[in-house]
């Protein structure tokens, strides 16, 4: 099989995921797009492993590891998203702008309620 | 392999290639729909199709163990987790017009540019490279298991620690907040978003 | 002790005295007066010893080289001939008199230690200039004198006049010193040495490449130091300093340095006929102009200052006709009687409580209050007016005789025009000199009106010094037959023609002034004028400082006074107004130098404020705007950041690939 097929497919999947990460508004959809990107990488790893006939099967082992790490990432990521959602009432990424400079825009009451909680999380 | 390469060509695709191509088109289409659809739950379901398509591609690349792991973990658990997340964040069922943020055109330009550049590089680099799929199976469960537990034992175990840490982290993140919220609700039922300054002390 | 050792000690002793005085001035006030007087006295004694040992014999030349100093070596060289030995004696004697006089004059001055040390340092520098045989070492002494003059003129720095005068003295002499330095360099470049003997030898042997240029450059420095037109304006203003300083620096020594340098380097100047003519014209303008200005001054010390300028004009005139013997002879006698006049003026200012001639002419009995000053100053004024048999007569006749000799063109290398210029202006100046000397004497000692205030007896040391200086003022003329042995050998005896002519003219000047005074003195009673400081117990220096400070407010002008009883006003007629302000030369300088400098300063300030600062402000504003623009990009939206990051890395990656594949480069 021509190597270009899996490689090009992987590239296209990766860029699709990239578009999703940049364009999607909902944090969970962004996480999905990240999964797409990870899978594109996995596809590449497997294809090259098969092509090179690696005796160590480094590509496949790494794929397995990536899958595992992705599972862990999705768990933590979802937990964070849920936390944000509970604190903010929204999981829209482009509304989480507290790091922007103009402090006057954010709702002060919202931030007052937010800050003790985040501190508490940091200390816990 | 060079002999095999000489006998191959773009204009005479083998059956595996045709299958790979078709499944790839389906996968890519599903992925595109995943990142563009305005219905959030549909997006998760299309992700299932895309991930399943990738599993089929693994099979076509003779990596059967990976394929099954893909199906088990991604299609089986990750997507379910994502669906739970969507539900818990009260994602709207049906079309939501603001599913894409304002900079989608910039995102499109960046993604298209990256795709063009990468495709060009990849095609340019692997123009005359073929994978020999006729030899011994690369990704059988036996093969994978042997290499995994012969050469990759230590990373494998380290990864289990990572998983444990992620598990604990996820539980702490969710549970703590749930406890705080429950306490808030118990202390001041009329003000669900009341002050929580004393919450950390109570937790300890 | 050899002659060399003695000669080295002469400048060294006052220098050590100055250093010790500066170091001990605060901690040991009791040593200040001995440290001021004794080294100077010893230096004067040693200078006399050097003069006696040197005699009229061949010049003594000693040199040592401390270190190689580049292409043209600089030597610590001594060159002692008759000129140097005699001038050193005058410098030493006058400096000693001034130091002793100052112990009485500035007895209560809190800054006396630094004053005395600076006078010692100044004396040392002048002796160095006189004795050295190397132009670079001479320049060192020359500049030390300049800076000492600056400090000493500004001794009463509490008064505005003294501050301005010290700055003016410094700047104007520096204006001449810069060309002087270039002249020395050009001379050394032409002859290949800084040694005066070497230079003179080279000039006599090969001549110079650019004699006129070098002579004119050197002349600028001489004009600045010796207060010759057009750089003389600092000297009358320098009278804001203490009187002993005026006597030492501005009569006997520093201003003589310029004349001395020309005398030493006369063959260099004589190599260019144009330079000699310039020197003659300069001397003529200086003589006549200063004589007219002296007639119009009201401040007694300013009269003497303009008189100094005029007498220095005589010396440069003598040099312009190539007779350095006459010039140095006049320098010696002038040093004696002018120092006496200044010291006497200090006594009179103390006794009268004012420095204004108009005020003195309205008080009677001043001569009785200060008999010592009266008698000594009378003789000194007669010497100044060149009345025989006093010193000034002989030396001035020597100058006029030399000029008369040069008119025939018999002198080699001296144009006859220079001789005529010097002779005519010299005779005219003799008239003016007699006039202002008579006016000074009449106004000071023959005043009519209220009795002069009693300021108590004058300090003994001050009167004693007057009598010490009286001796050479009266008798130095007797040395005229012996001096040619010390100098170039040319006779300095008065010739009949010029003697009769000069003395007659001087008598005419004196008599005319006397007649005018008789006419105007009747008016004096009608116009009461004058402010007098009555402070019997104050030190003389203090009353002088007060007199200087109050002159401008009372009389409206630091130089003149609106006194109709002044004979000078009638004599000068319409010229009086211009002569009183030194013929508006200061105004000319204001237009030529001060205003352009101020305009340039304003321009620089404008450029700095509006142009340079604009760049600085722009350098601050541009980053601020840039920062505002960048801050706008910082929205807090993570997706925007990520998009920009990826776009940037994409561009970089594409560029890298293009470069690597060579298609884009």
pLDDT in tens, C4-39: 888 888 888 889 888 888 888 778 778 888 888 888
Q: Which of C640, C654, C657 sits opposite B103 (nearest CB)?
A: C640
**Which of A69-73, C62-66, C154-158, C425-429 comes out lowest in average pLDDT?**
C62-66
Q: What are phi and psi of C408, to 5 degrees?
A: -70, -10
Cβ separation A60–B63 shorter than 8 A: yes
Give the pLDDT of residue B31.
94
Give me the percent of chain B exceeding a pLDDT of 90: 28
Give mean pLDDT, residues C103-128. Answer: 86
Examine residue B197 and state whether it is found in any structural domain, yes or no: no
> Which residues in chain A touch residue C634, judged by CB atoms under 8 angstroms apart?
100-101
Domain ranges of chain A: 4-123
User: Nearest 10 degrees: CA dihedral of C344, C350, C353, C358?
Assistant: 0
Query: Rounded to an integer, what distance in angstroms lies between the CA atom of residue C567 and that of residue C19?
Result: 48
- Per DSSP, the residues of C156-177 read GTTSHHHHHHHHHHHHHHHHHH
Which of C 95-124 lie inside 8 A of B, CB atoms?
A: none
Rg (CA), chain C: 31
> Which residues in chain A touch residue C646, judged by CB atoms under 8 angstroms apart?
18, 22
| Helices assigned H by DSSP within C483-591 | 496-524, 540-555, 567-572, 575-580, 585-589
Nearest residue of A to residue C639, measured between CA atoms: A22
Give the pLDDT of residue A40.
94
Distance from CA of B128 to the nearest CA of C (A): 18
Three-state secondary-structure class, residue C541? helix
Contact C176, C264 (CB under 8 A): no
Distance from CA of C612 to the nearest CA of B (A): 43
Q: Which of A21, A94, A101 sits opposite C637 (nearest CB)?
A: A94
Give the pLDDT of residue C621.
92
Which positions ≥6 away from B132 have C-beta within 8 Å? A51, A53, B1, B4
Query: Closest Cα to residue A69, out of C100, C265, C367, B156?
Result: B156
Compute the residue count for chain C: 665
Give the pLDDT of residue C526.
63
Give mean pLDDT, residues B117-137. Answer: 84
Please write the tens of the pLDDT for every residue from B61-92. Answer: 888 899 999 999 888 888 998 998 888 888 78
More confidently predicted of C545 and C228: C228
Give me the percent of chain C exceeding a pLDDT of 70: 92
Domain ranges of chain C: 1-248, 272-578, 584-632, 635-665
Q: Which of B101, B103, B110 sits opposite C650 (nearest CB)?
A: B110
Cβ separation C646–A22 shorter than 8 A: yes
Please write the tens of the pLDDT for every residue from C383-442. Answer: 888 887 788 888 888 888 888 888 876 666 677 788 888 888 888 888 888 888 888 888
Q: Is the pLDDT of residue C604 over 80?
A: yes
Please write the tens of the pLDDT for every residue from C303-348. Answer: 888 888 888 888 888 888 888 888 888 888 888 888 888 888 888 8
Give the pLDDT of residue C493.
77
Three-state secondary-structure class, residue C79? strand
Read off the pLDDT band of A113 (50, 70, 90): very low
Compute the residue count for chain B: 204
- Which residues of chain A approach chain C closer than 8 Å at the C-beta? 18, 21-23, 93-94, 96-101
Contact B143, A57 (CB under 8 A): yes
The sign of the torsion formed by the CA atoms of C175, C177, C178, C182 equals positive
* List of chains touching C (3+ CB pairs within 8 A): A, B
Rg (CA), chain B: 24
Q: Is the pLDDT of residue C235 over 70?
A: yes
> Which residues in chain A touch residue C636, judged by CB atoms under 8 angstroms apart?
96-101
- Does the beta carbon of A41 lie under 8 angstroms from any beta carbon of chain B? no
Which positions ≥6 away from A72 have C-beta within 8 Å? B162, B163, B165, B166, B167
Query: Closest Cα to residue C85, out of C48, C58, C120?
Result: C48
Q: Which of A33, A64, A76 sits opposite B166 (nearest CB)?
A: A76
**Which of B12-26, C109-123, C256-270, C444-458 comes out lowest in average pLDDT?**
C444-458
- Does the beta carbon of C645 lie under 8 angstroms from any beta carbon of chain B? no
Query: Rounded to an integer, what distance in angstroms lies between the CA atom of residue C439 and that of residue C435?
Result: 6
* Number of domains comprising chain B: 2
Query: Rounded to an integer, what distance in angstroms lies between the CA atom of residue B104 and that of residue B132?
Result: 41
- Does the beta carbon of A118 lie under 8 angstroms from any beta carbon of chain B? no
In this structure, are B31 and B44 located in the same domain? yes
Express the helix, strand and coil content of chain B in percent, nearest 5 each: 70, 0, 25
Contact C393, C492 (CB under 8 A): no
- Per DSSP, the residues of A5-52 read HHHHHHHHHHHHHHHHHHHB-BHHHHHHHHHHHHHHHHHHHHHHHHHH
Give mean pLDDT, residues C46-66. Answer: 81
Q: Is the pLDDT of residue C543 over 50?
A: yes
Distance from CA of C639 to the nearest CA of A (A): 5
Q: Is the pLDDT of residue A118 over 50?
A: no
Cβ separation B21–A113 shorter than 8 A: no
**CATH code at position B125:** 1.20.120.1200
Give the pLDDT of residue B174.
79
- The average confidence (pLDDT) of chain B is 79
Give mean pLDDT, residues C196-221. Answer: 85
* List of chains touching A (3+ CB pairs within 8 A): B, C
Please write the tens of the pLDDT for every residue from B22-66. Answer: 999 999 999 999 999 888 889 999 999 999 999 999 999 888 899
What the block records as the tokens of A40 is: 């594109």
Cβ separation C635–A97 shorter than 8 A: yes
Q: Is the pLDDT of residue C663 over 80?
A: no
Give the pLDDT of residue C401.
85
Q: Which of A17, A46, A71 to mutate to test the interface with B (most CBs of B within 10 A)?
A: A46
- The average confidence (pLDDT) of chain C is 83
User: DSSP assignment, residue C65?
Assistant: -
Give the pLDDT of residue A106.
40
Q: Which of B110, B114, B115, B124 to mutate to test the interface with C (most CBs of C within 10 A)?
A: B110
Examine residue B201 and state whether it is found in any structural domain, yes or no: no
CA C121 to chain centre: 16
> Which residues in chain A touch residue B133, judged by CB atoms under 8 angstroms apart?
1, 50
Which CATH number describes the domain made up of A4-123?
Answer: 1.10.287.3510
Give mean pLDDT, residues C224-245. Answer: 83
Cβ separation A16–B28 shorter than 8 A: yes
Q: CB burial class (10 A; 0-12, 13-18, 19+) of residue C426?
A: buried
- Does the beta carbon of A86 lie under 8 angstroms from any beta carbon of chain B? yes
What the block records as the tokens of A48 is: 């090259």
Give the pLDDT of residue C552.
65
Which positions ≥6 away from A33 have C-beta within 8 Å? A16, A17, A18, A19, A20, A21, A24, B34, B35
CA distances for C72 relative to C132, C192, C210, C214, C632, angstroms? 17, 6, 19, 17, 69
Give the pLDDT of residue A101.
65
Kindly report the pTM of this predicted structure: 0.66
Give the pLDDT of residue C332.
87
The CA angle C318-C320-C321, to the nearest 5 degrees, is 70
Contact C138, C199 (CB under 8 A): no
Examine residue B20 and state whether it is found in any structural domain, yes or no: yes
Give the pLDDT of residue A44.
92
What the block records as the tokens of C534 is: 């009555």
Top-ranked range on mean pLDDT: pick from C64-73, C173-182, C597-606: C597-606
Residue B161 domain boundaries: 152-189
- Does the beta carbon of C639 lie under 8 angstroms from any beta carbon of chain B? yes
The CA angle C106-C109-C114, to the nearest 5 degrees, is 95
In this structure, are B119 and B176 located in the same domain? no
In this structure, are B65 and B34 located in the same domain? yes
Contact C225, C157 (CB under 8 A): no
Query: Closest Cα to residue A93, out of A15, A17, A28?
Result: A28
Q: Which of A18, A23, A100 sits opposite C636 (nearest CB)?
A: A100
Top-ranked range on mean pLDDT: pick from B70-79, C466-475, C548-557: B70-79
- Does the beta carbon of C633 lie under 8 angstroms from any beta carbon of chain A? no
Q: What are phi and psi of B197, to 5 degrees?
A: -65, -30
Please write the tens of the pLDDT for every residue from A32-48. Answer: 999 999 999 999 999 99
Please write the tens of the pLDDT for every residue from C442-465. Answer: 888 887 777 777 766 777 888 888
What per-residue string of b and e applies to C589-623 under the rule 16 or more CB within 10 Å gives b?
Answer: beeeeeeeeeeeeeeeeeeeeeeeeeeeeeeeeee
Top-ranked range on mean pLDDT: pick from A52-56, C40-44, C634-638: C40-44
Which positions ≥6 away from C175 have C-beta within 8 Å? C220, C224, C231
> Which residues in chain C touch residue B117, judged by CB atoms under 8 angstroms apart?
650, 653-654, 657
More confidently predicted of C529 and A73: A73
Q: Which of B32, B40, B138 sits opposite A29 (nearest CB)?
A: B40
Q: Is the pLDDT of residue C131 over 80?
A: yes
């Amino acid at each position: 099989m021509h190597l270009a097929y899996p490689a090009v497919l992987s590239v296209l999947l990766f860029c699709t995921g990239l578009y999703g990460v940049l364009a999607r508004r909902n944090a969970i959809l962004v996480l999905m797009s990240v999964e797409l990107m990870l899978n594109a990488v996995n596809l590449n790893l497997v294809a090259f492993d098969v092509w090179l006939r690696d005796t160590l099967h480094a590509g496949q082992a790494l794929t397995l590891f990536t899958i595992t790490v992705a599972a862990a990432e999705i768990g933590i990521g979802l937990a964070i998203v849920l936390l944000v959602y509970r604190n903010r009432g929204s999981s829209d990424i482009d509304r989480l702008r507290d790091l922007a400079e103009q402090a006057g825009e954010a709702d002060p009451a919202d931030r007052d309620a937010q800050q003790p909680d985040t501190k508490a999380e940091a200390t816990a | 392999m060079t002999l095999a390469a000489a006998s191959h060509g773009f204009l005479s695709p083998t059956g595996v290639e045709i299958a790979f191509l078709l499944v790839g088109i389906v996968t890519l289409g599903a992925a595109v729909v995943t990142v563009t659809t305005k219905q959030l739950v549909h997006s998760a379901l299309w992700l299932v199709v895309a991930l399943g398509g990738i599993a089929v591609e693994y099979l076509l690349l003779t990596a059967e163990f990976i394929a099954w792991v893909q199906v088990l973990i991604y299609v089986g658990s990750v997507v379910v987790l994502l669906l739970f997340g969507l539900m818990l964040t009260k994602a709207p069922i049906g079309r939501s017009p603001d599913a894409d943020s304002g900079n989608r055109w910039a995102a499109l330009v960046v993604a298209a540019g990256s795709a063009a550049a990468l495709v060009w590089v990849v095609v340019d680099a692997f123009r005359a490279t073929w994978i020999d799929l006729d030899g011994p199976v690369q990704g059988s469960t036996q093969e994978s298991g042997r290499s995994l537990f012969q050469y990759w034992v230590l990373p494998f175990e380290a990864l289990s620690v990572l998983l444990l840490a992620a598990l604990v982290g996820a539980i702490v993140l969710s549970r703590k907040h749930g406890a705080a919220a429950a306490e808030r609700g118990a202390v001041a039922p009329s003000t669900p978003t009341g002050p929580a300054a004393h919450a950390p002390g109570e937790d300890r | 002790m050899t002659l060399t050792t003695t000669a080295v000690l002469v400048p060294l002793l006052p220098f050590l005295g100055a250093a010790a005085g500066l170091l001990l001035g605060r901690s040991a006030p009791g040593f200040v007066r001995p440290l001021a007087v004794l080294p100077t006295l010893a230096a004067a004694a040693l200078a006399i010893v050097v003069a006696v040992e040197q005699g009229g014999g061949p010049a003594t030349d000693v040199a040592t080289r401390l270190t190689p100093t580049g292409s043209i070596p600089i030597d610590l060289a001594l060159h002692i001939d008759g000129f140097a030995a005699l001038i050193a004696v005058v410098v030493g004697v006058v400096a000693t008199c001034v130091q002793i006089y100052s112990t009485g004059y500035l007895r209560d001055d809190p800054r006396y230690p630094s004053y005395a040390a600076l006078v010692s340092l100044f004396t040392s520098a002048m002796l160095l200039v006189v004795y050295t045989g190397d132009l670079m070492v001479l320049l060192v002494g020359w500049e030390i004198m300049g800076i000492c003059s600056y400090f000493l003129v500004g001794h009463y720095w509490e008064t505005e006049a003294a501050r301005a005068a010290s700055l003016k003295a410094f700047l104007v002499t520096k204006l001449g010193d810069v060309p002087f330095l270039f002249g020395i360099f050009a001379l050394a470049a032409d002859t290949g040495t800084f040694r005066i003997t070497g230079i003179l030898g080279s000039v006599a042997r090969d001549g110079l490449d650019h004699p006129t240029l070098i002579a004119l450059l050197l002349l600028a420095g001489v004009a600045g130091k010796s207060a010759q037109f057009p750089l003389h304006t600092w000297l009358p203003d320098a009278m804001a300093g203490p009187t002993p300083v005026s006597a030492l620096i501005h009569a006997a020594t520093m201003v003589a340095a310029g004349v001395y340098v020309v005398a030493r380097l006369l063959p260099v100047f004589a190599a260019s006929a144009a330079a000699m003519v310039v020197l003659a014209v300069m001397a003529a303008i200086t003589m006549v102009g200063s004589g007219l200005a002296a007639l119009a001054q009201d401040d007694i010390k300013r009269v003497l200052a303009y008189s100094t300028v005029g007498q220095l004009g005589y010396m440069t005139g003598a040099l312009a006709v190539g007779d350095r013997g006459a010039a140095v002879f006049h320098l010696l006698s002038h040093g004696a009687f002018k120092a006496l006049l200044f010291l006497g003026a200090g006594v009179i200012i103390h006794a009268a409580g004012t420095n204004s001639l108009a005020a003195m002419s309205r008080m009677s009995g001043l001569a009785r209050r200060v008999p010592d000053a009266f008698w000594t100053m009378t003789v000194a004024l007669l010497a100044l007016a060149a009345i025989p048999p006093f010193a000034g007569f002989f030396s001035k006749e020597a100058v006029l005789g030399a000029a008369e000799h040069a008119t025939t063109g018999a002198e080699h290398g001296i144009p006859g025009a220079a001789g005529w210029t010097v002779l005519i202006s010299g005779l005219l100046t003799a008239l003016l000199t007699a006039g202002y000397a008579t006016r000074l004497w009449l106004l000071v000692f023959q005043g009519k009106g209220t009795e002069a205030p009693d300021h108590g007896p004058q300090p003994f040391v001050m009167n004693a010094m007057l009598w010490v200086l009286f001796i050479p003022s009266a008798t130095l003329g007797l040395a005229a037959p012996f001096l040619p042995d010390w100098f170039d050998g040319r006779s300095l005896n008065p010739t009949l023609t010029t003697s009769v002519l000069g003395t007659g003219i001087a008598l005419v000047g004196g008599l005319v002034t006397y007649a005018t005074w008789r006419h105007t003195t009747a008016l004096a009673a009608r116009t009461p004028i004058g402010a007098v400081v009555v402070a019997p117990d104050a030190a003389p220096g203090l009353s002088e400082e007060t007199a200087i400070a109050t002159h401008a407010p009372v009389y409206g002008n630091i130089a003149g006074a609106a006194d109709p009883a002044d004979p000078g006003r009638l004599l000068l007629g319409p010229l009086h107004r211009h002569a009183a302000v030194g013929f508006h030369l200061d105004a000319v300088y204001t237009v030529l130098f001060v205003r352009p400098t101020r305009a340039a300063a304003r321009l620089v300030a404008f450029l700095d404020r509006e142009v340079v600062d604009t760049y600085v402000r722009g350098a601050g504003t541009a980053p601020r705007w840039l920062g505002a623009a960048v801050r706008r990009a910082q929205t807090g939206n993570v997706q925007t950041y990520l998009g920009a990051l990826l776009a940037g890395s994409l561009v970089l990656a594409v560029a890298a690939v293009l470069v690597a594949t060579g298609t884009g480069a």
